[in-house]
């Protein structure tokens, strides 16, 4: 892993910063937000010519493209990005395409604390962190023979719900499980899903204060998932199995939602506890994170996952959200990240938010 001293050394020579990210996921929002805060922007793309679709969005088109033959190449060509005074802003696809191991080795100042990765990517450690923070999670079943209610089975590292399935009995579990892959069995929580977008600033000491820094809520979305969201139109899931149709949870888009207002205090307390625990466990995560929750009819949150960087659901709120507007009109998560970098630069505290 690249060391803190190496990154501080690189930053020592930085002057006119640029924001760089991979051309996917939430890049339009990130480039647009960085530009609003006065940064140059660089888009990393695979291929021998820039992706055409940016031409359709001139206010979100990076100032410059950095073309690579494969995502592995980013690691070897980091020096070129350093020469451009670039700061990487990671998103889910950036880390996924590069691979977590390579991402940890990248010799380029990167927004956020990279140490969070080991806590996020291992489902056991994630549970240790979240439950240790006092956050309620879906019950976990250690053995398939313990299954006594509908359960949700997911594979380690599976992104976008790929391969996940529902089972109601051990027999159903055995029929669907793919051998040789690590999995986790959770109770299937019945309720409504809310993906809450938070932003933790270790720099700001105003608003919703934590022991160090402050917490903001920038928006909430719900994911559209194929084909579970539309399956009901064909009839009961059980009867569809004879046609080889099983529910899948592949994210295809996002819709905006707001929470019942009386749930907001709990949502903030959850975010607060997760940040405080991260400060104790690994020096704290920085910037955007998302608690993926289901609210039951008893108005209780169950958190089934955490994402510790910008999530694609924030793309809904490029011009602000019903929550971020109450702090500053028009603030997207992409712009908020750029604002944090700008603030740290002004206060000579870049070492606290980059790693």
Q: Binding residues for ligand AMP, per CB under 6 A?
A: 138, 152, 154, 158, 161, 164, 186, 188-189, 193, 223, 225, 249, 292, 294, 304-305
**Cβ closest to ligand AMP, residue 36 vs residue 118:** 118
**Cβ closest to ligand AMP, residue 216 vs residue 225:** 225
* Alpha-carbon span 115 to 127, nearest angstrom: 16
Beta-carbon count within 10 A of 207 CB: 12
CB of 28 to ligand AMP, least distance (A): 23
* Alpha-carbon span 75 to 14, nearest angstrom: 19
**Cβ closest to ligand AMP, residue 148 vs residue 347:** 148
Q: Which position has the token pair 């990076």?
A: 62
Residue 52, CA distances (Å) to 23, 78, 120, 266 in order: 11, 24, 33, 43
CB of 242 to ligand AMP, least distance (A): 24
What is the residue-wise DSSP string for 40-98? EEEEEEESSS--GGGGG-GGGS-SEEEEESSTTHHHHTHHHHHHTTEEE--BHHHHHHH
∠ Cα 40 46 50 (to 5°) = 55
CB of 158 to ligand AMP, least distance (A): 6
Backbone φ and ψ for 203, nearest 5 degrees, come out as -95, -40
Strands 64-68 and 40-46: parallel
Alpha-carbon radius of gyration of the chain: 21
Residue number of the CB atom closest to ligand AMP:
161
**Cβ closest to ligand AMP, residue 124 vs residue 328:** 124
**Cβ closest to ligand AMP, residue 242 vs residue 297:** 297
**Cβ closest to ligand AMP, residue 33 vs residue 92:** 92
Alpha helices in the chain (DSSP H): 4-12, 27-36, 73-76, 78-83, 92-98, 100-105, 116-121, 123-132, 170-176, 228-231, 237-240, 264-282, 333-346, 350-353
CB of 350 to ligand AMP, least distance (A): 32
CB of 93 to ligand AMP, least distance (A): 15
**Cβ closest to ligand AMP, residue 193 vs residue 327:** 193
CB of 290 to ligand AMP, least distance (A): 10
CB of 123 to ligand AMP, least distance (A): 9
């Amino acid at each position: 892993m690249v060391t803190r001293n190496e990154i501080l050394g690189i930053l020592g020579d930085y002057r006119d910063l640029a924001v760089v990210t991979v051309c996917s996921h939430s890049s339009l929002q990130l480039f647009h937000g960085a530009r609003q805060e006065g940064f140059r922007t660089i888009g990393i793309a695979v291929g021998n010519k820039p992706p055409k679709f940016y031409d359709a969005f001139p206010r979100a088109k990076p100032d410059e493209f950095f073309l690579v033959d494969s995502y592995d190449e980013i690691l070897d060509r980091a020096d070129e990005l350093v020469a451009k005074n670039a700061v990487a802003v990671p998103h889910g696809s950036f880390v996924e395409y590069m691979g977590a191991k390579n991402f940890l080795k990248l010799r380029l100042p990167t927004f956020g604390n990279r140490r969070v990765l080991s806590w996020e990517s291992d489902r056991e450690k994630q549970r240790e962190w979240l439950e240790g923070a006092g956050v309620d999670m879906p019950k976990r079943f250690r053995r398939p023979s313990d299954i006594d209610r509908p359960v949700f089975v997911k594979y380690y590292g599976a992104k976008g719900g790929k391969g996940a399935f529902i089972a109601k009995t051990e027999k159903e579990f055995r029929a669907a499980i793919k051998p040789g892959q690590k999995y986790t069995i959770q109770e299937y929580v019945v309720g409504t899903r809310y993906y809450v977008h938070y932003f933790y600033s270790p720099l700001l000491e105003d608003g919703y204060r934590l022991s160090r820094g402050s917490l903001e809520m920038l928006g909430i979305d719900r994911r559209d998932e194929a084909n579970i969201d539309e399956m009901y139109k064909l009839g009961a899931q059980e009867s569809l199995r004879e046609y080889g149709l099983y529910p899948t949870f592949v994210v295809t888009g996002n819709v905006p939602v707001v929470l019942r207002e009386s749930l907001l205090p709990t949502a903030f307390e959850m975010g607060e506890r997760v940040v405080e625990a991260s400060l104790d466990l690994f020096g704290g995560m920085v910037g955007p994170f998302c608690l993926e929750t289901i609210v039951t009819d008893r108005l209780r949150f169950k958190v089934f996952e955490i994402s510790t960087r910008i999530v694609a659901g924030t793309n809904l709120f490029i011009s602000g959200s019903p929550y971020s507007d109450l702090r500053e009109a028009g603030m997207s998560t992409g712009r908020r990240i750029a604002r944090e970098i700008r603030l740290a630069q002004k206060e000579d505290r870049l070492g606290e938010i980059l790693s």
